[in-house]
Amino acid sequence: DIQMTQSPSSLSASVGDRVTITCRASQSITRYLNWYQFKSGKAPKLLIYAASNLQGGVPSRFSGSGSGTDFTLTISSLQPEDFATYYCQQSYSIRPLTFGGGTRVEIK
């Protein structure tokens, strides 16, 4: 299985801050990397697919970059609705699809 490692596991930030979350794969996954936002009681939301493509309807303050084994999700100016847990997920190998351990973004 391809292991996905996210860092940090949690962070505290203020509204307006720039936030960066990293994800590392245990082997090259080229650009088969997706980012999701999870909030309790809500449907998880796809933010970024194929490393850097913004899903329709997602605010442009979200961006993704990287290839190979190292990837980054950036929120350029944190908004109140962005406090959530973020997960990366590789789709290079579908047997099985695997997720990172998550990054919880909390209010400072």
Partner 1 sequence: QITLKESGPTLVRPTQTLTLTCTFSGFSLTTSGVGVGWIRQSPGKAPQWLTLIYWDDDKLYNPSLRSRLTITKDTSKNQVVLTMTNMDPVDTATYYCARLTTMVNVLDYWGQGTLVTVSS
Nearest to 48 by CA among 88, 105, 78, 85: 88
Print the binding letters for residues 47-86 with partner 1: x by CB under 8 A, - otherwise. --xx----x-------------------------------
Q: If DSSP codes are grouped into helix, strand and coil, which group holds residue 53?
A: strand
Q: Which amino acid is at 60?
A: S
Please identify, using beta-carbon distances, which residue of 78 and 87 lies nearer to partner 1: 87
CA quadruple 92, 97, 101, 106: dihedral positive or negative?
positive
Print the binding letters for residues 19-48 with partner 1: x by CB under 8 A, - otherwise. -------------x-x-x-x--xxxxxx--
Please identify, using beta-carbon distances, which residue of 10 and 77 lies nearer to partner 1: 10
Instruction: Please tell me whether residue 87 binds partner 1 under the rule CB under 8 A.
Output: yes
62 within 8 A of 73, measured Cβ to Cβ:
yes
Angle CA(17)–CA(21)–CA(24) in degrees, nearest 5?
165
Q: Of 11, 13, 24, 102, which lies in the binding site for partner 1, with binding defined by CB under 8 A?
A: 102
Site of interaction with partner 1 (CB under 8 A): 32, 34, 36, 38, 41-46, 49-50, 55, 87, 89, 91, 94-102
